[in-house]
Amino acid sequence: MWQVGALCRAIADALESRFNPVSVRGEITGFSRAASGHCYFTLKDAQGQIRCAMFRRAAGLLQFLPRDGELVEVQGRLGVYEPRGDLQLIVESLRRAGQGALFEQFLRMKAKLEAEGLFEPERKRPLPLLPRGIGIVTSLQAAALHDVVTCLRRRAPHVQVVLAPAAVQGAQAPGELVAGLEALYRQADAGAIDLILLVRGGGSIEDLWAFNDEQLARTIVRSPVPLVSGVGHETDFTIADFCADLRAPTPTAAAELAAQPRDTWLGALDLAGERLQQAAWRRLDRASQRLDAAAAHLGRPSARAAQQHLRVERSAQRLRHALALRVQRGRDALAVAGTRYQSAAADRLARADQRLDRIDLRLQLLDPRLVLQRGYALLTDRASGRPVTAVAQVQAGQELRAALADGEVDVTVAPGASPRA
């Protein structure tokens, strides 16, 4: 017993093997285009009708907008829409009935090259973000040339433009277009250009036929740099469009895709410069804060010398006070002992005075200000604050700070100076 889904798939397989591909002639009714770009309609005649679906890629090749009541010829494949079990025709190409041999030739060429992989998305290359040079292939008399050059001068006047003139219509056009591309390929190999525009204005299928040439198509695929095709108007499609790395709807659109406005890049450059400057200032501010914190933690050499001097003076005062007390006690003891001990006490007092003088002299010699007043200086490295006590610590160009008797002075070791022990 069949399951419904399996039966639908079996019917679809039978139709695929028995009928496809299929060509049908009929009248359009109920034509609609969805937001996705897919088109849906019914094809009918006096004896019957069939639902049709034309997906976005095939619909993009239409040379006209189909309308209800229009007699058309379609090519496609029969299938079954399994969710509803409906028979439908997937349309791959559509033309007005009797459109002519050129369109048939276009479809055959398109199918041949597509089967060879010339249209594969994987071989399409992105356009350079900032092209150094742009090559253009078109006619010197074409309005497309004026439109493209005007657009490039407005958006990117700094970009070099190399023109390869060629006929864009007539029997000689395919050969000249191929020759123009080959000339630009040599420029690309030499590094003069890194993008090519193949452009022409709109026209009928006969006017644009040169861009359906097989040799031109194969030459486009061999381009060493990305190539943009801007042939005709938005609804015009040629074989060159499918072979190019990117298809533009018009020649002007091709120029706009090729070159970003210079003002946009200059604005981005200014913004990047401002951000870089702000980052540099922030980094300098943080470094200054760390330096201030280190200096505060280390302390200045003059302040440390003053603290040591104050400690020496306080010790000297306590010592003098203690000695004065001892002298007084000795004098009191001598007075009580009487005159018999006056001579001995006088000697002892003299020795005590001498010792006091020696102690006082030693204290004076310990005073750092006396050392600085004799012409000496306390040297420290200005950047780290560390004392400099040996010539090996000094090098040419180093910045030092000298603490003198009456203040401080910054000094720099002279270039070329050699330390002497």
For residue 222, tell me if it sits in a domain: yes
pLDDT of 162 above 80: yes
> HSE-up of 154 (CA within 13 Å, CB side)?
9
Specify the pLDDT at position 113. Answer: 94
pLDDT reading at 336 higher than 70 = no
Residue holding tokens 């401080």?
A: 408
Q: Are residues 149 and 231 in the same domain?
A: yes
Asked if residue 115 is part of any domain, the answer here is no
Burial of 254 (0-12, 13-18, 19+ CB in 10 A): buried
Length of the chain: 421
Same domain, yes or no, for 33 and 134?
A: no
Is the same domain home to 132 and 234? yes
In a domain, 267, yes or no: no
Q: In angstroms, how far is CA 188 from the centroid of its own chain?
A: 25
Question: Mean pLDDT lowest for which of 127-136, 242-251, 384-393?
Answer: 384-393
Question: Of 186-190, 271-275, 411-415, which range is least confident?
Answer: 271-275
110 within domain boundaries: no
- Residue 374 has what DSSP assignment? T
Q: Where are the alpha helices (DSSP H) in 140-260?
A: 143-155, 173-189, 214-221, 239-243, 251-258
Query: Mean pLDDT across the stretch 228-237?
Result: 85
Total number of domains in the chain: 4
Same structural domain for residues 132 and 256?
yes
Residue 401: closest CA among 326, 322, 330, 301: 301
Burial class (CB in 10 A: 0-12, 13-18, 19+), 36: exposed
Is 254 found in the same domain as 140?
Answer: yes
CATH code (residue 193): 3.40.50.2300
Whether 71 and 169 share a structural domain? no
Quickly tell me which residue has 């001990």 as its tokens: 341
Let me know whether 221 and 206 are in one domain: yes
CA-wise closest residue to 55 among 43, 39, 78, 76 = 39
Within-domain flag for 236: yes
Confidence bin at 346 (pLDDT 50/70/90) = low
Kindly report, residue by residue over 87-145, the tens digit of the pLDDT. Answer: 888 899 988 775 556 777 888 899 999 999 999 999 999 999 889 999 999 999 888 89
Q: Are residues 193 and 242 in the same domain?
A: yes
Q: Are residues 251 and 160 in the same domain?
A: yes
Higher-confidence residue: 158 or 263? 158
Q: What is the pLDDT of residue 341?
A: 46
Based on the domain organization, do 228 and 144 belong to the same domain? Answer: yes
Q: Classify residue 383: in a domain, yes or no.
A: yes
Regarding whether 134 and 243 lie in a shared domain, the answer is yes
What is the residue range of 9's domain? Answer: 4-99
pLDDT tens string 48-97? 888 999 999 899 888 788 888 778 889 988 888 777 778 888 899 988 77
Residue 274 lies in a domain: no
CATH number of 49's domain:
2.40.50.140
- In terms of domains, do 318 and 384 share one? no
CA distance 27 to 398: 95
Q: What percent of the chain has pLDDT over 70?
A: 83
- The C-alpha atoms of residue 25 and residue 401 are separated, in whole angstroms, by 101
